[in-house]
Structure 1
Amino acid sequence: MKKLEIACLNLESALIAQENGADRVELCADIHLGGTTPTTEVVQKAKNNLSIDICIMIRPKGGDFVYSDLEFQQMKDAVLKIKPIGVDGFVFGILNEDNLINIKQNVELVNLAYPIPCTFHRALDEVENYKTALEDVITCGFSTILTSGTFSNVTKGAEVLRNLVLQAVNRITIMPGGGLRSTNISELDKIVKADFYHSSAITDRTEIANSEEIMKLKKKLSIY
C-alpha cells in the first residue's frame, strides 16, 4: 500500500496528521524558510503524543543547502541531542558550493544518526545532474530522497520523478513532495508510481495541516 508523510510545523498538525490517516510525519519549524530544526521540546512532545513514525528535520537555516563549519556542527549537535528521544528518522541534505552532493558531510551525519534512517531533503532539486546525484545519495547511506524532481513542484518534475524511481530500482525510496495536493496526486502517481508521498496538507494561510486534505490524499493513494 502506498504511504503518506505529512510535513508538520507544530504538534497540532502532527496530531491532525495521525488522526486522519497519515503514515508518518516530518516535524520541522519555520515553513517560510523551507523548514528548519524544531526545538527538542517540540520533538519530545511529539514523541509523547504520537504512535505513528516521526522524522525530524535537521537544518540550521533556510535558503541553500551549503553549510559552514559552524552550521554543520549545529547539525551534528542536533542529531546527538534528539537521537535519544527515540525518533524514527532524520531529514537533511548537504551540498558543496558547486551544488554537487557533499558526500563527506552527509556520510558523517548518516553515521551519527545510525541506526535511525535518514531522508535526503530537497537538496537534490538544486543539482545539475540528478542521475549522478542519486547514485551519490545512495552511496551516502540514505534510505529516502524527498524531491520535487528538480523543478519547483512535483507536477513540473513528474517525468524526472518517474526516472528517479526507475533508476533507484528499490535501492532507495523516492518520495515526491513539493506542491503535492489531493488535486494532483492521482495524476502524478499514474506517471511516477512512487510508494511514498509527502505533503504539508496546508490549504490556507495558517501553519496547520488540513484534516480534510489529509483524508483526501490518503483516500486517493489507497486506490492504487
Structure 2
Amino acid sequence: MNATYVLEIAANSLASALAAQEGGASRIELCAALELGGLTPSPAQIALVRERLSIPVHVLVRPRAGDFAYADEEHATMLADIAHCAAAGCDGVVVGALTAGGDVDVARCRELVSAAGRLDLTFHRAIDVCRDPTAALEAVIGLGFRRVLSSGGAAGAMAGSAHLRRLIERAAGRIEIMPGAGIDAGNITALMAATGAREFHASAKRALPSRMRFTPTDALGMAGGETRSDAAEVRRLLEALHDAAARA
C-alpha cells in the first residue's frame, strides 16, 4: 500500500490488537468498551498489548462515557493514565476535553499535552460535539496535537464527509484529519475520494458467538458473545485503500 495512507484500528482487547497487526494495520488505538464510544483500557491490557505488538500502540484516555467536560478528579485520573502509558512504552495517547460551553478546554488539554511528553497525540471525537468546529480545530493545532479523529460531526464519517473535507482544507497540512466512525471496506474508497484524507480509523470488528453453553432465561443483559477486530476485514480495508491509491 502507498505509504502515505495509514489505517488505524480501534482494538478493544489483546485479541483485537493481534488481529489488527496480523491484518496489516498501521497502528492500533487500544480502548475498552467500544459500545460506549471507547474508554481507557486497564493497565494490564495496555502492558500485554505493548508486549505482544510490534506496530505502534496508541491508547485512548477517556475516564467515563458521556460528555467531555471533566471534573477535577477525572482530569487527575487522565493525567495519571497518560503517565502510565508513557511508562509502559506506548507510542501515543488519544485524549480531549471540552468546557461546559462546548469549546476545547485549552487549560486542561495543555496539561494533558504536557503529561504526554514525547507521546504522539491525537485529539478524539470530542471535536464532533464542539460549538464551533473551526475554532476547535485551531485550538487543537495550537496545543500541538498531531491529528484529530473526527466523523465530521455526523453519526458516520461518510455522512460527515463534506465537513471532513472542509476541516482538511482548513488544516492545510498543519495537522492530520483522520476520519472515523462507520468505515468499512465498502465505503473507505469513496470516503478517501470525498475527503482527501490520508489516515483512516476503523474497528474492522465482527461479532463472535458466545462460549456459554448455558444461558439463563433472564440473562440480565449479560448474554451473547464478544465483538472483536477481524484480520480478514483489516486486509479488506487495506486492499480497498491500495486499489484506490493505485488508481489515483
Partner of 2:201 in structure 1?
A: 198
The answer to whether the aligner puts 1:208 opposite 2:211 as a matched pair is: no
What residue ranges of structure 2 are gaps of 5+ in the alignment?
209-225
Specify the code of the residue in structure 2 equivalent to 1:216. R
Q: Whole-Å Cα distance in 2 between the matches of residues 76 and 129 of structure 1?
A: 26
TM-score, normalized by length of structure 2? Answer: 0.88
CA drift of 1:128 comes to 2.6
Between the aligned partners of 1:200 and 1:108, the Cα distance in structure 2 is 29
Task: Find out whether 1:52 has 2:72 as its counterpart.
Answer: no
8 A contact 1:3–1:221 mirrored in 2: no
- The equivalent residue for 1:169 is 172
1:61-210 counterparts in 2 under 5 A? 61-204=64-207, 206-210=226-230
Counterparts of 1:170 and 1:155, CA distance in 2:
21
> Which residue does the alignment assign to 1:221?
241
SS of corresponding position for 1:171: coil
TM-score computed with the length of structure 1 as normaliser: 0.97
Instruction: State the superposition RMSD in angstroms.
Output: 1.0
What is the aligned residue count?
224
TM-superposed CA distance for 1:132, in Å, is 1.1
Deviation at 1:165, TM superposition (A): 0.9
Structure 2 contact 56–91 (Cα < 8 Å) conserved: yes
**1:79 aligns to what SS in structure 2?**
helix
Shift of 1:204: 3.1
Deviation at 1:85, TM superposition (A): 1.1
2:24 equivalent to 1:21? yes
Partner SS, residue 63 of structure 1: coil
* Runs (5+) with no aligned partner, structure 1: none
Larger Rg: 2
Cα deviation, residue 32, structure 1: 2.1
